[in-house]
């Protein structure tokens, strides 16, 4: 393989781009907590306002937004999130992946991470366009952010931008993972974080979520010498364009 798979566990500043307020924690909360405990600076960028998924129809949009933000902040403290950034695109709405791509580029240039984490847009049978557009826009932003003529919508930021190295991008909720992270030491932090998300999960639903995740975490770790794992597709940004050897990355 001409371009090697980067080591996610060496990340020192991580930008985690998620469609909804809970996706990072559900799919990769143990990995994120492990990196944060090792000293990595963790930023969350949440794309949508998440209003469609709120269970209590009596809440006004303003009250629902406040509750979602409070829950996300509480969960973030469990896994070690340094900063929460929210874009407010309409949940399950008609928004452009190109507009999101520009926002992700802006945050890449401002935060200057060495690793990006996001949802895999190529998961078979994924019907939720918030997930597909978020993953695709983030992946393409990782290709384009270093091009000086690509505009982020912030002229001052673009003018002052100095190139930096983005070491890798990791996709969670992936059917083609090439990396399994041992989360034995941080799994409890992840699951405590999930308990914060009561605006969109009933107690019964949270119980099912915990059980389903435990099953997958054990399965991913099976035969690897540890008990619980999270599976990710980890790539170098150079793998994201005309990659004729893509199959080699998942063997």
Mean pLDDT in residue range 92-109: 98
* Mean pLDDT over the full length of the chain: 98
Q: For residue 235, with 0-12 CB atoms within 10 Å meaning exposed, 13-18 middle and 19 or more buried, which class applies?
A: buried
- Return the pLDDT at 250: 82
Buried b (16+ CB within 10 A) or exposed e, 77-89: ebbbbeeeebbeb
Per-residue pLDDT tens for 29-61?
999 999 999 999 999 999 999 999 999 999 999
Mean pLDDT in residue range 75-99: 99
Q: Is the predicted pLDDT of residue 184 greater than 80, yes or no?
A: yes
Mean pLDDT in residue range 99-118: 99
pLDDT above 70: percentage of residues in the chain? 99
In sequence order, what E strands does 124-228 have? 168-172, 179-182
- Return the pLDDT at 75: 99
- Return the pLDDT at 245: 86
- Return the pLDDT at 247: 84
Domains, the chain, in order of start with CATH, read: 8-236 (3.40.50.10320)
Rounded to 10 deg, the angle between the 203-221 and 187-194 helix axes is: 160
Q: Is the predicted pLDDT of residue 238 greater than 90, yes or no?
A: yes
Q: Is the predicted pLDDT of residue 1 greater than 80, yes or no?
A: no
- Return the pLDDT at 248: 84
- Return the pLDDT at 241: 96
Closest CA to 184 of 12, 41, 37, 42: 37
Per-residue pLDDT tens for 139-157?
999 999 999 999 999 999 9
What confidence category does residue 2 fall into, taking pLDDT thresholds of 50, 70 and 90?
confident
What is the rounded CA–CA span in Å between residue 152 and residue 158? 7
What confidence category does residue 249 fall into, taking pLDDT thresholds of 50, 70 and 90?
confident
E strand or H helix at 47: strand 41-48
Q: Is the predicted pLDDT of residue 7 greater than 90, yes or no?
A: yes
């Amino acid at each position: 393989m001409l371009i090697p798979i980067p080591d996610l566990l060496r990340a020192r500043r991580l930008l985690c781009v998620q469609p909804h307020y809970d996706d990072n924690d559900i799919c990769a909360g143990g990995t994120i907590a492990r990196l944060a405990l090792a000293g990595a600076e963790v930023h969350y960028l949440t794309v949508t306002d998440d209003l469609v998924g709120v269970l209590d129809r009596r809440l006004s949009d303003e009250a629902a937004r406040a509750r979602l933000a409070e829950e996300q902040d509480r969960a973030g403290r469990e896994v070690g999130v340094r900063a929460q950034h929210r874009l407010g695109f309409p949940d399950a709405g008609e928004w452009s992946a190109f507009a999101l791509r520009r926002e992700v580029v802006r945050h890449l240039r401002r935060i200057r991470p060495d690793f990006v984490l996001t949802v895999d847009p190529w998961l078979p049978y994924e019907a939720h366009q918030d997930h597909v557009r978020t993953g695709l826009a983030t992946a393409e932003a990782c290709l384009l952010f270093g091009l000086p003529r690509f505009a982020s919508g912030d002229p001052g930021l673009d003018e002052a931008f100095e190139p930096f190295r983005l070491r890798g991008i990791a996709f969670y909720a992936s059917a083609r993972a090439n990396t399994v992270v041992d989360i034995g030491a941080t799994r409890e932090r992840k699951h405590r974080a999930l308990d914060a998300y009561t605006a969109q999960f009933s107690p019964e639903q949270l119980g099912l979520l915990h059980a389903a995740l435990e099953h997958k975490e054990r399965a991913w770790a099976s035969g690897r010498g540890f008990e619980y794992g999270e599976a990710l597709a980890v790539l170098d940004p150079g793998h994201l364009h005309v990659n004729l050897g893509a199959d080699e990355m998942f063997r």
